[in-house]
Amino acid sequence: MNRRLITSMLSDRQIEDLITKALEARETSYCPYSRFRVGSALRTVDGKVFQGCNIENAAYGGAICAERTAFAKAISDGHRRFVAIAVACDYNHFITPCGICRQFMNEFGKDLEIFFVNDDRSYRRAVLEDLLPYAFGPENGPLK
Ligand SMILES: O=c1ccn([C@H]2C[C@H](O)[C@@H](CO)O2)c(=O)[nH]1
Ligand SMILES: [Zn+2]
């Protein structure tokens, strides 16, 4: 199903909850090198929400983004199916996931809704498939 042109699968209340949790998750960000705090909140199909933050490293390449932190927490707790993720940074800015995160998230479903959250709680919404067109995913690799 192509969900790009239709409205969110989430209710307004669920969207607001995800926004609150993404903004809150910034507080735990470990970002002494960039000073760019990012928080995320990932909702599973059964309604659980996992929060994530970016975690940087003295060896800069070892950093992990807020999006992948939330996915790692959820997957390692046994969840594989997700409906949406909200991402927020500290600025008046609609942050969008980096290329590594887009590929990482695509493994678990190109239908994922992504909410880019501004400091004032306003947001933009996209579907992962539109952020990573012609993706190489599990249906193309050795699992196909
Ligand atoms: O969508 C994004 C973009 C960037 N970052 C992090 C990585 C790094 O710690 C800092 C600056 O790029 O922000 C995220 O967590 N998510
Ligand atoms: Zn990323």
Distance of CA 17 to the CA centre of its chain: 14
Element housing 65 (H / E): none
Q: Whose CA is nearest to atom 14 of ligand 1?
A: 65
Task: Confirm or reject: Cβ of 56 under 6 Å from ligand 1.
Answer: yes
DSSP state of 133: T
Whether the full predicted model's pTM is greater than 0.90, yes or no, is: yes
The binding site for Zn(2+) consists of 65, 98, 101
Residues at Cβ < 5 Å from ligand 2 ion: 65, 98, 101
What value, to the nearest 5°, has the Cα angle with vertex 51 and ends 80 and 71?
30
- Beta carbons within 8 Å of 37's beta carbon, 6+ residues apart: 26, 27, 29, 31, 53, 54, 89, 90
Which tens digits make up the pLDDT trace of 63-114? 999 999 999 999 999 999 999 999 999 988 899 999 999 999 999 999 999 9
Which tens digits make up the pLDDT trace of 127-139? 999 999 999 999 9
Distance (Å, rounded) from C-alpha 99 to C-alpha 6? Answer: 24
